[in-house]
Every structure is written in structure tokens, then in C-alpha cells.
Structure 1
Amino acid sequence: MDDQKVTVLAVLDGGPADIPVTMRTCHVAGDADTIKLQWLNGYEHFHRTAAGPDGPAVFAWVARTRIAE
């Protein structure tokens, strides 16, 4: 049995304009539907919207939450 998880390239679309380009691409589990990115004093939430057969999975920004203290 193979315990390796499949990962895919993800592109983050939308959200705060000041998120660096280098943070807008990452690898995630192939079955991931959401990404939570820590940014400044909160988290940016992205949900999967598309995945091309030969391209990256696209995650669109949906909300921002603050870090609990």
C-alpha cells in the first residue's frame, strides 16, 4: 500500500492585493477544497473553484478572519 499523498499546484486568486506573488502559489493535498493562509494579523480563506486537467488548481478568496488571542 502506498502512503504517499498526491499534491497539486494551487494558485490563490483574489484577497488582499498586498499578498506577495510568491505566496500565491503553493502545493496542497490533491483533495483539498480550502486553503487558510496566515497573513498579517489574520487568516485569508480560499475555496477551490477550478482545476484544469493539465494546470494548477485555482482557489478563490472568500473571507478573512482575525487570529484569536
Structure 2
Amino acid sequence: MDDQQPTVVAVLDGGPTDIPVMMRTCHVTGDADRVKLPWLNGYEHFHRTAAGADGRTVFTWVGRTRIAE
């Protein structure tokens, strides 16, 4: 039995402008509603907002948290 969930292509929209373009596209499980991207000394948070016509899913930036020390 295969326990792996299918993945979708996530496009990360918004947030810090210095996040490289290549980091703004990733694969997530099909049921994911959030993406947490490690960036500099924190995490950028993105929430699912739309499914694109091209099969990609858009996640829009909602905020940032700092890494606890």
C-alpha cells in the first residue's frame, strides 16, 4: 500500500522581495493549506488562496515569524 500523498506545485506570492524566484515554487502535499519558508533569521508564512488554471496552487504571504533563540 502506498502511503504517499499526491503533491501539487505551490507558487508563493508576496512577502519579502529578496526571496529568490527559484524559491517561490515548490511541491507540497495536495491537502496543504500553509507553507512555512525558512528565510534569513525567520520563517515566511503563506496560506493557500487559489488553484491556478495551469495546475499550480497559489499561496499568498500572510506574515513572518522569527526563529526562537
What range describes the TM-score normalised by the shorter chain of this pair?
A: over 0.9
Corresponding position of 2:28: 28
What residue in structure 1 maps to residue 39 of structure 2?
39
TM-score by length of 2: 0.93
Give SS of 1:19's match: coil
* Unaligned residue ranges in structure 2 (runs of 5+): none
Tell me the residue number matched to 1:58. 58
Q: Which shows bigger deviation, 50-59 or 4-13?
A: 50-59
Deviation, 1:4, is: 2.1
**1:11, CA displacement in angstroms?**
0.1
Q: Deviations along 1:47-69, whole A, 9 cap, x unmatched?
A: 00001354200000000010000
Whether 1:9 and 2:4 are equivalent positions in the alignment is no
Which has the larger displacement, 46-55 or 10-19? 46-55
Q: Structure 1: how far apart are the matches of 2:32 and 2:45?
A: 13
Give 3-state SS (helix, strand or coil) of 1:22's partner: helix
Structure 1 moving runs of 4+ over 4 Å: none
TM-score (ref. length: structure 1): 0.93
Q: CA deviation at 1:2?
A: 3.1
What residue ranges of structure 1 are gaps of 5+ in the alignment?
Answer: none
